[in-house]
Amino acid sequence: MSESNTSSTVKEKLNFNVESVEQGDTPSLAVYSTIQNQGSKEWLLASDIPERPKYSKLAVLFLAYQSVGVIYGDIGTSPLYVYSSTFSSTPERADLLGALSMIIWTLTLVVTVKYVGFVLRADDNGEGGTFALFTLLSRYANISWKNPQSAVNLGMQRYHTEDMRYFSRGFRAKLEQSNFLRHLISVLSIVGVSMVMADGVLTPAQSVLGAIQGLNLKVPDISQSAITGISEVILIILFCIQPFGTTKIASSFAPIVIIWLLFNFSVGLYNIITQDYTVLSAFSPYWIYAWFARNGSDGWVKMGGILLAFTGVEALFADLGHFSRAAVQLSWTFLAYPCLLIAYIGQAAYISNDATGTAWSNPFFATVPPSSFWFAFIIAILAAIVASQAMISGCFSILRQAMSLSNFPQLKVMHTSERFHGQIYIPTANWLLMIGTVIITAAFPNTTVLGNAYGACVTFVTLITTTLVTIVSIIVWKWNIIFSILFFLFFAFIDAAYLSATLLKVPQGAWTTIVIAAVIAMFMIIWHTGKLEQWKYEEPRAKDLPGLIKADVIRHNDGNESVVLSLAKTGERLEVLKGLSVIFDSAGFGIPPVYSHFTDAFAASPDIAIFLHIRNLPQPTVPDGERMVVFRLEVPNMYRVIIRRGYKDVLQGDDKNGPSDMVVNRICELLEQEGCTAERDAINIAKENRVTYLMSTIEYAGAPTSNFAKRSLLQVFNSVRKNTRGVRRHEFGVPNDKLVEVGMRYDI
């Protein structure tokens, strides 16, 4: 792939092995572009796609420890309310064993086998979530829609996969040729992400309320409003500590969750030994059959309570970018899984031998020894706080993925760790989640009602994940089609069974999740559709430099030469504006639309034009020698500069001229190395005359021929874009008195 707009390149030394690139030894994730320069090869890193993080064994163990403090707070606090959400009266022994058997096998099959065994392998360079599944598929099949003018998408070309099976190649071809299937996969990923974010609103409310309600046992007179108020104070504090970052929070929370899980394990083992060890027979799937034989359709409905045993499972995948696959597998297999199994078995043992017949209504606090109640209460509250952290961190990760896929407007993303690059914090998302959680906590005063709303998002996400992972198994993992079909049928049956049970509870509260997720999904679809319409509008109007400007060399009588610029289309001569102009460019190649619009409108161009593209990389810092890449374009006195910036790099200029000094100094330094002193002097003279920054303000509107739905969509898209667009002058210190904003209107 070559840079179409450069005939020569100012030499830039980058720190990688050119020979290994030529021999094809570099990973396919690193895409390079060949630039010809007087017969020699110059290399530009054309797409800085993150490679899968690599950690030492010690780092993996530390991440496994951290993951306990984030991921398992949600699924780990389910013992607080599963049995109380499943039963409405004292259960018969057979029903108790049936419920326990479903819990055991669901944790084993859905969480351990499907998620830990298979789903975690479907990550996209260390990132998890349904958007990660979509981007992973996009690397092996041309199913995504990308900005044709954006260099950051150059790495999304389909990988060479000639070794695919015959059926897999045919299946991929069918996906690529069908707009319906491509849109379907895209919508599925958006809906899955929306459900996880809806879960991020409900999880904190469910977990904290479940813990605080334990006060009813010791303080029977406490009012529901007091429980709600205490819960909301705790939740607000939780969201306020998010800026400290995943590492600090997780390292602080991990001991709490470890103590919580081991406490549950100890109490469960104690109850198994002292109460009723025969409940261990629930490991036999026979009791699942007996459950449905005894209860029929009522047993199906009660599955809506049992599924709460694995709520939070999506956090294992969504939070993967904060940790690593090996870390999550270690912490689940050797700590969380055995502790939770024993906890549920121990609660069943106590309930089956409970003389009062009330233990099922508050299973955790009823089954702990009376002397340890207050310890259990405090550790439960702390664990519930951690439970909220799982989905909050997951929401941050998937929102970043949504922004990179143009499914969400750009928000400020803060990296909280230089060592673990996936650990991020998004302030706007954090405060919106807090507001939503506080409202939900006030609207649903107890965990039984909230549980009806809580389970819907989980089952939707697990079914969508099963579907997308099945496609991954065919195209990416190259499984035999029979294995892929069996995988889908087996796990989709389990997911669909729980989903159908949840949908029966729509009138009792599950509608809340569906409404929240629908609003989020609709917002993402509107934004993505708006971006597609923008790209569709810009693509046929995109121009390269020779197609926009024609340069004629005029020889004067004194022997000197000068260059006259004119519009290539009309031949109209361009007025040369004294000074240097920095034109911000979001693509990184081609001609920015704002410059084309400016030259068409004013028939003018600056003495020196620099197209500046900022490329943010998923690493803390970029070495000085690799930070700035410079191109000399076909038209004299025009340059393209790409600044490669790590998330800890600060690239602000001075108060007088902004970042232009930094850019100009680098260009002049390279020109001096080439011996182009006259060209260097011309740039310095232009800078002394005047420095301006050119940016665009685009308004999107429906063309007169557009239908009402399209015009309405574009109005929403335009409104959101105006209120969320990131302005470079704030980020890089562009002085207001040197900024020129050119208004543009897209009649789409």
Interval 499-522: pLDDT, tens:
888 887 777 767 777 888 889 999
How far apart CA 14 and CA 455 sit, in angstroms, is: 51
Q: Tell me which H or E stretch contains 102.
A: helix 93-106
Q: Is the dihedral of CA 425, 427, 433, 437 positive or negative?
A: positive
pLDDT at residue 462 greater than cutoff 50? yes
Q: Which is it for strands 628-633 and 6-8: parallel, antiparallel or unpaired? A: antiparallel
118 vs 200 pLDDT, higher one = 118
The pLDDT of residue 721: 79
For the beta sheet containing 691-701, the strands, ordered from the edge strand earlier in sequence to the opposite edge, are 6-8, 628-633, 638-645, 604-616, 575-584, 691-701, 739-747
Work out the number of other CB atoms within 10 angstroms of the CB of residue 222. Answer: 14
In the block, which residue shows the tokens 């030994």? 273
- Contact (Cβ atoms closer than 8 angstroms) between residue 611 and residue 630: no
How far apart CA 172 and CA 135 sit, in angstroms, is: 15
Does residue 296 come out as left (phi exceeding 0), alpha (psi in the -120 to 50 range) or beta?
left
- Contact (Cβ atoms closer than 8 angstroms) between residue 114 and residue 491: yes
Task: Check residue 323 and report its DSSP letter.
Answer: S
Give the helix ranges, DSSP H, for 628-706: 660-674, 677-689
Q: Are both 573 and 450 inside the same structural domain?
A: no
Q: Are both 432 and 569 inside the same structural domain?
A: no
Residue 514 placed within a domain: yes
How far apart CA 241 and CA 533 sit, in angstroms, is: 39
Angle between helix 224-240 and 373-404 (nearest 10) = 50
559 vs 116 pLDDT, higher one = 116
Q: What is the mean pLDDT of residues 383-387?
A: 73
In the block, which residue shows the tokens 């870390």? 327
- Contact (Cβ atoms closer than 8 angstroms) between residue 67 and residue 315: no
Residue 722 neighbours by CB under 8 Å, 6+ apart = none
Q: Indicate the residue among 532, 567, 595 that finishes a domain.
A: 532
pLDDT at residue 14 greater than cutoff 60? no
Q: 403 to each of 121, 130, 410, 413, 524, how far by Cα in Å? A: 23, 14, 6, 10, 10
Q: 103 to each of 79, 119, 287, 296, 703, how far by Cα in Å? A: 11, 20, 11, 18, 56
Where would I find the beta strands (DSSP E) of 324-437? 414-415, 424-425
The pLDDT of residue 729: 52
How far apart CA 685 and CA 683 sit, in angstroms, is: 5
149 vs 564 pLDDT, higher one = 564
How far apart CA 629 and CA 642 sit, in angstroms, is: 5
Percentage of residues of the chain with pLDDT beyond 70: 82
Q: Which is it for strands 739-747 and 691-701: parallel, antiparallel or unpaired? A: parallel
Task: Check residue 181 and report its DSSP letter.
Answer: H
Where would I find the beta strands (DSSP E) of 468-573? 549-555, 561-567
The distance of Cα 228 from the centroid of its chain, to the nearest Å, equals 31
Q: What is the mean pLDDT of residues 319-323?
A: 79
Q: Are both 398 and 471 inside the same structural domain?
A: yes
- Contact (Cβ atoms closer than 8 angstroms) between residue 167 and residue 437: no
Structure tokens at 743: 């208004």
**Which residue from 232, 137, 577 is spatially nearest to 434, judged by alpha carbons?**
232
Which range has the worst mean pLDDT, 266-275, 441-450, 564-573, 695-704? 441-450
How far apart CA 424 and CA 412 sit, in angstroms, is: 10
Structure tokens at 313: 């499972």
Q: Are both 472 and 565 inside the same structural domain?
A: no
Q: Are both 497 and 552 inside the same structural domain?
A: no
Average pLDDT, the chain: 79
The pLDDT of residue 4: 34
What is the domain extent for residue 731?
542-747
Residue 419 placed within a domain: yes
Query: Which CATH number goes with the domain that contains 321?
Result: 1.20.1740.10
pLDDT at residue 271 greater than cutoff 90? yes
Q: What is the pLDDT of residues 402-428, one digit of tens each?
A: 887 778 887 877 777 666 666 778 888
Angle at 82 between CA 241 and CA 296, to 5 degrees: 145
The pLDDT of residue 261: 93
368 vs 163 pLDDT, higher one = 368
Where would I find the beta strands (DSSP E) of 226-328? none
The pLDDT of residue 620: 67
Residue 709 placed within a domain: yes
Does residue 701 come out as left (phi exceeding 0), alpha (psi in the -120 to 50 range) or beta?
beta
The pLDDT of residue 30: 24
Residue 57 placed within a domain: no
Backbone φ and ψ for 629, nearest 5 degrees, come out as -110, 130
Buried b (16+ CB within 10 A) or exposed e, 387-398: bbbbbbbbbbbb
Residue 54 placed within a domain: no
Q: Which is it for strands 604-616 and 6-8: parallel, antiparallel or unpaired? A: unpaired
Q: Is the dihedral of CA 178, 181, 184, 189 positive or negative?
A: negative
The pLDDT of residue 657: 64
How far apart CA 202 and CA 117 sit, in angstroms, is: 27
Q: Are both 427 and 484 inside the same structural domain?
A: yes
Q: Which is it for strands 628-633 and 638-645: parallel, antiparallel or unpaired? A: antiparallel
Structure tokens at 440: 């939900």
Q: Are both 444 and 310 inside the same structural domain?
A: yes
- Contact (Cβ atoms closer than 8 angstroms) between residue 455 and residue 510: yes
Task: Check residue 567 and report its DSSP letter.
Answer: E
pLDDT-derived band at 653 (thresholds 50, 70, 90) equals: low
Q: Are both 514 and 571 inside the same structural domain?
A: no
Residue 27 placed within a domain: no
The distance of Cα 70 from the centroid of its chain, to the nearest Å, equals 17
Q: What is the mean pLDDT of residues 293-302?
A: 89
Structure tokens at 384: 């519930």
Residue 647 neighbours by CB under 8 Å, 6+ apart = 413, 415, 421, 616, 617, 618, 619, 620
Residue 3 placed within a domain: no
The pLDDT of residue 718: 82
Residue 606 placed within a domain: yes
Q: Which is it for strands 691-701 and 40-47: parallel, antiparallel or unpaired? A: unpaired
pLDDT-derived band at 702 (thresholds 50, 70, 90) equals: confident
The pTM (predicted TM-score) of the whole model is 0.76
Number of domains comprising the chain: 2
- Contact (Cβ atoms closer than 8 angstroms) between residue 542 and residue 534: no
Q: What is the mean pLDDT of residues 199-227?
A: 76
pLDDT-derived band at 149 (thresholds 50, 70, 90) equals: low
Q: Which amino acid is at 448?
A: T
In the block, which residue shows the tokens 């092996």? 140
Q: Are both 612 and 491 inside the same structural domain?
A: no
Residue 488 neighbours by CB under 8 Å, 6+ apart = 466, 467, 470
Structure tokens at 291: 């459950």
Q: Which is it for strands 604-616 and 575-584: parallel, antiparallel or unpaired? A: parallel
| 562: helix, strand or coil | strand
Q: Indicate the residue among 512, 532, 552 that finishes a domain.
A: 532
Q: Are both 574 and 669 inside the same structural domain?
A: yes
Q: Are both 381 and 527 inside the same structural domain?
A: yes
In the block, which residue shows the tokens 């063309």? 703
pLDDT-derived band at 563 (thresholds 50, 70, 90) equals: confident
The pLDDT of residue 273: 95
Q: Which is it for strands 561-567 and 604-616: parallel, antiparallel or unpaired? A: unpaired
Q: Which residues pair with 493 in a beta bridge?
A: none
pLDDT at residue 581 greater than cutoff 60? yes
Q: Are both 486 and 453 inside the same structural domain?
A: yes
On the 0-12 / 13-18 / 19+ scale of CB atoms within 10 A, 500 is middle
Work out the number of other CB atoms within 10 angstroms of the CB of residue 532. Answer: 14
In the block, which residue shows the tokens 């100094």? 665
Q: How far apart are the first and last CA of the chain?
A: 31
Q: Indicate the residue among 502, 532, 562 that finishes a domain.
A: 532
Percentage of residues of the chain with pLDDT beyond 90: 22
Angle at 386 between CA 383 and CA 389, to 5 degrees: 160
Q: Which residues pair with 40 in a beta bridge?
A: 37
Percentages helix, strand, coil for the chain, rounded to the nearest 5? 60, 15, 25
